[in-house]
Amino acid sequence: SRSEKERFVVADRALADYDTLFAAWGKDPQAQDDLTRWRIDRLGALKSRARTAEVISEYEQLTAAGVAIPPYALRWVAASYLDQRQPEIAADLYRRVFSAPDGDADHRLEDTTALYYALLESERPEEALKLANDLADSVPQRIQLTGQTVGDPNDDWVDAQLLAAQAGADGTAGADLPGTEQRLETLAGQAPGNISVRLAQADLYRVRDWPRLSESLLKETESVAPRDVSLEVSQGHTAQDLQEWRQLDALTDDVVERFPESRQVQRLAREREVHDMAELRVMTYGGKSYGGGSNGAGAVSGSRDFGIESRLYTPPIAEDWRLFGGIGYAMGDFSEGIGNHRWQVLGVERRTRDMTLEAEVSNHSYGYGDKTGARVSLARDIDDHWQYGGSLDYLSANTPLRALNSDISANGGSAFLRWRANESREWKLSLSPSHFSDGNNRFEALLTGREGVYRSPKVQVDLGLEVGASHNTLEDTPYYNPEADLSVLPTVTVNHVLYHRYQTSWSQQFQAGAGTYSERGYSTGAVGLLSYGQRYSWNDVFDIGAVLSVINRPYDGDRETDLRLAVDLTYRF
């Protein structure tokens, strides 16, 4: 019944009383049994005051002294271990609470829910799912009281059903998001006034890459409980997805001021903190080609090639803006000689709701003096499913290095349209015209698609398709320039999570593809692709991935094998 600001008054008063008791009786030998009982009960006051580290310290001192901790106090200790990110110990303690002969059945739902999260955070999602489903099956929908023909609605049933529904989506990658969505919709119809169900729906919509739908549902829920901390935290995450930076700041500042001890509030504050950091991106690659006709050099990248580019972004300026600068280098060993390209970039980025805009100027040096380039790009969201965008390039970064090595540059642009159904299904069409300084006009089209076919907490499998076509108006150029070509490459990609704990993850990726490549004037040939990669992420600020791939395909009728290693790194500070 106390107000939000007074929620710690009773706990603080109790802790002060315990301090007085310990000071008065701490040295009396006859009071030792009472002192032990007070120390055990004081764990509850510490837990209520969110001083969970002290709960654990006091518990360990008591157990070291041989004191038996009763189940009601073990519940406080288990919750403290879970709060301090020691879920394995918490899970063991909750199981001890369940098995205790004098356990309190009134806390069964609360304890089971806490055990579920302890198992989930211990990376045991299958056990957590079974526990949630067993709970949902055992809690009755209505409570039958003596003399009643129709029982009263059971609030615990709604909570148990909600936990089971969310369990289908929890885990490293969310095993059954469509099933969870359906269960939550059904539950929302049965308990339309339950805020927790509404918030669970909104969070799921965000996970499924529907932030605008999440925002709309949260706005409806706001009319019922405008100051609910879970509501504001969810609104904060959604605002971040929508690039509503000022809204993110307002919501985060409010909940941090009101509930600084809350882990969900601390998580939102951490994501805002990371967003406000500077960002370094580094991309590098190296390749070796085999085959490529009589001279043995690769048609596109040469017999061997290497490249690296780094970009540094400033922290956000006036919320929406970031400045960036970068440098890069690329080389390729071609039959006509080794090509080198060095460039420097300076630009600005603006990120607002529904739109990301970049503009940059660049300096290029590839053996014929310094040349100035420029680029502008735009990506704009129509809704949760559709996005379009494009770019204009003067001295395009996509100009083949082999063309630059012969003092041939290109200007061009691109346009794309993307449709994204959800987190596991999307299609994108890109059209890219360009004009080379030797008079060649090139037009490229690329269609890519992805469909998730299997999801489990540790393994995700996607089917992919890449269809590319191009047309060129000039023949006999020093760079690879087919009159017209078409490639079709279906792929299967497997992502396997090797390790995951809170904001640290380590995964490996396998990809295989088999398709065809057709070039005007030459027969159609097969294309084969195999790749293996790993990715490691740590503490929201560090992400690195490496992919080793081999692709075999024809160019101008000559079959070529390309072995390539690519590494990318992102670091925020």
Mean pLDDT per 10-residue segment, the chain (573 residues): 80 92 87 91 93 95 92 94 95 90 79 93 90 89 75 84 86 74 91 91 94 96 92 97 96 95 95 97 94 69 92 97 97 90 97 97 94 96 97 93 94 96 95 96 97 92 97 92 95 96 95 96 94 96 97 90 96 97
**Is 554 part of any domain?**
yes
pLDDT tens digits, one per residue of 156-186: 889 999 999 988 877 655 578 888 999 999 9
Q: Are residues 156 and 291 in the same domain?
A: no
Spatial distance between the Cα atoms of 80 and 54, rounded to a whole number of angstroms? 9
Distance (Å, rounded) from C-alpha 74 to C-alpha 230?
26
**Residue 327 in domain:** yes
Q: Nearest Cα to 284, choosing from 512, 536, 544?
A: 544
* 194 sits in which H/E element: none
- Looking at the structure, tell me whether residues 240 and 283 fall in a common domain: no
pTM confidence score: 0.91
Res 435: pLDDT: 96
Amino acid at 417: L
Mark whether 442 and 523 lie in a shared domain.
yes
Same domain? 312 vs 223 = no
196, 217, 244 - which closes a domain:
244
Quick check: 555 and 292 in contact, CB under 8 A?
A: yes
CATH of the domain at 468: 2.40.160
Q: What is the pLDDT of residue 448?
A: 97
Same-domain status, 225 and 299: no
In a domain, 533, yes or no: yes
User: Looking at 195, 222, 244, which one is the last position of a domain?
Assistant: 244
pLDDT computed for residue 139 by the predictor = 86
pLDDT of residue 415: 97
* CATH number of the structural domain spanning residue 42: 1.25.40.10
Answer yes or no: do 236 and 117 share one domain.
yes
Q: Please check whether residue 267 lies inside any domain of the structure.
A: no
pLDDT in tens, 62-118: 999 999 999 999 999 999 999 999 999 999 999 999 888 876 777 888 989 999 999
Residues 520, 484: contact at Cβ < 8 Å? Answer: yes
Residue 557, pLDDT score: 85
How many folded domains does the chain comprise? 2
Q: Are residues 62 and 14 in the same domain?
A: yes
Q: What is the pLDDT of residue 142?
A: 82
Range of the domain at 369: 279-572
For residue 100, what pLDDT is reported? 83
> Same domain for 387 and 458?
yes
Is residue 514 within 8 Å of residue 528, measured between CB atoms? yes
Q: Is 206 found in the same domain as 306?
A: no
Distance CA 444, CA 399 (A): 13
Residue 137 lies in a domain: yes
Q: What is the C-alpha separation between 450 and 466, in angstroms, rounded? A: 9
- Residue 260 falls inside a structural domain: no
Asked, for residue 264, whether it belongs to a domain, the answer is no
**pLDDT at res. 191:** 86
